[in-house]
Amino acid sequence: MMFWGLVVSPHKVYKKIVDEPFVISQACVDLSAPEGARVALKVKVDDAEHIACILTAGKTDTMRLTLAFAEGQDIEFSIVGEHDVHLTGHVIQSEPMGEDLYDEDLLDEDERELEEDEDEDDMSDFIDDRDLDEDEEDEEEEEEEEDEEESDDEEEEEEEQPTKKAKVNQQKKQKEAEKQAQQKKQKEAEAKKKAAQEEAKKQEEAKKKLKEQLKKEKDAKQKKQQQEQDKPKRRTLKGGVVATELRAGKGAACKRGQKVAMRYIGRLKKNNREFDRTHGKSTFAFRLGSGEVIKGWDIGVEGMKIGEKRRLELPAACGYGRQGAPPDIPPNADLVFEVELVKIMRK
């Protein structure tokens, strides 16, 4: 039995037409392979490619095989992975033939020589002996042919047995490899599906968070806008009168020359002391812009709508001036009025 071995390296293909039958009995991953590294051995025989085995460093470093290859087969070896795979086995050698036949041939020649000597002594026996010898030779030749045929048949049977067994083992290995590949494919598909579901869930959560964030921003913007709207509108008018809108009104704005009815509270700006007001539902009426009231009122009330409230800040010049209105309003006093337009009269 002659040893056979081969190292199959990554990204290389070993091709050969079998000139002498051999059997691969073992595959082993290279010692340099890190733990967990996977390498698959692929075998191609006469255009039929199969996965012979899958090795995992640190787990399945070595695998027993029975792969027989017959003379004349076109074979290829390659691997899927990044590490060498060592293949070992033995060459199938034919049993020596011809020695017994050689001895028998020598024996036949000796016998024929002996018979020829005897024929020279007795010519009358030559015919019988020759006939006998011819019969014996024919029988011996037939026996030799039968022995050769039996020997050939035995050799063929011996060659066929490991080949059939190797094919069966190869088919089993192939089925197992296909099963493992299918399981791996199924696991990868399940993992991919799970990852897709998790990604979809993450995206959904991200959308939800974004929606909530946008809603918060929108609410905050609306609140700010509302606050801006609710914030009193402060304007500086003629003569330094400052008008701040406290509440919006409705309808048409009052104009100069129209008679208006007002409710009000008057205070000194200096100390916020109240000096005058309307009481209950009573109102104070005057014609706007006619000089019936202090200058600051004609300026600050103009443009108000029914129901509107304003805060009017009047400098002394637009109020009671240097004289004031003793005893409640001192000279040069700045005033503050809160006014509400109750009614605009037609005449």
Structure tokens at 159: 């060659």
Which amino acid belongs to residue 164?
Answer: K
DSSP-derived secondary structure letter, 60? B
Per the CB < 8 A criterion, the answer to whether 42 and 51 are in contact is yes
3.60.15.10, 3.30.2320.80, 3.40.50.620, 3.10.50.40: CATH of 233-345: 3.10.50.40
Residue 148: its pLDDT value, please? Answer: 60
- Whether the ω angle into residue 10 lies within 30 degrees of 0, i.e. cis, is no
The answer to whether the 2-91 and 233-345 domains have the same CATH topology is: no
CATH superfamily, region 2-91? Nucleoplasmin core domain (2.60.120.340)
Q: Measure CA of the first residue to CA of the last residue in the chain; give whole Å.
A: 135
Higher pLDDT, 121 or 329: 329
9 has pLDDT over 80: yes
Residue 201: its pLDDT value, please? Answer: 92
Structure tokens at 25: 């009995």
Helices (H), 231-275: none
The model's confidence at residue 145, banded by pLDDT at 50, 70 and 90, is low
Residue 110: its pLDDT value, please? Answer: 47
List, by residue number, the catalytic residues. Answer: 264, 275-276, 294, 320, 337
pLDDT digits (tens, 9 = 90+) for 146-172: 666 565 655 555 555 667 778 888 888
Structure tokens at 280: 């209950």
Residue 152: its pLDDT value, please? Answer: 60
State phi, psi for 298 to the nearest 5 degrees.
-55, -35
The domain ranges of the chain are 2-91, 233-345
> Above pLDDT 70, what percent of the chain?
79
Angle at 60 between CA 55 and CA 62, to 5 degrees: 80
Residues 267 and 59: their CA atoms lie apart, in Å, by 96
Which amino acid belongs to residue 240?
Answer: G
Output the pTM of the full model.
Answer: 0.38
332 has pLDDT over 70: yes
Residue 251: its pLDDT value, please? Answer: 93
The pLDDT mean for the chain works out to 84
Radius of gyration of the chain from its Cα atoms, rounded to whole angstroms? 61
Residue 31: its pLDDT value, please? Answer: 94
Q: Which of 310, 307, 311, 309 is nearest to 250 (CA)?
A: 307
Residue 142: its pLDDT value, please? Answer: 58
Residue 93: its pLDDT value, please? Answer: 80
> Above pLDDT 90, what percent of the chain?
69
Residue 47: its pLDDT value, please? Answer: 86
pLDDT digits (tens, 9 = 90+) for 28-50: 999 999 999 999 999 999 889 99
The model's confidence at residue 95, banded by pLDDT at 50, 70 and 90, is low
Residue 187: its pLDDT value, please? Answer: 92
Structure tokens at 183: 């399981």
Which amino acid belongs to residue 131?
Answer: D
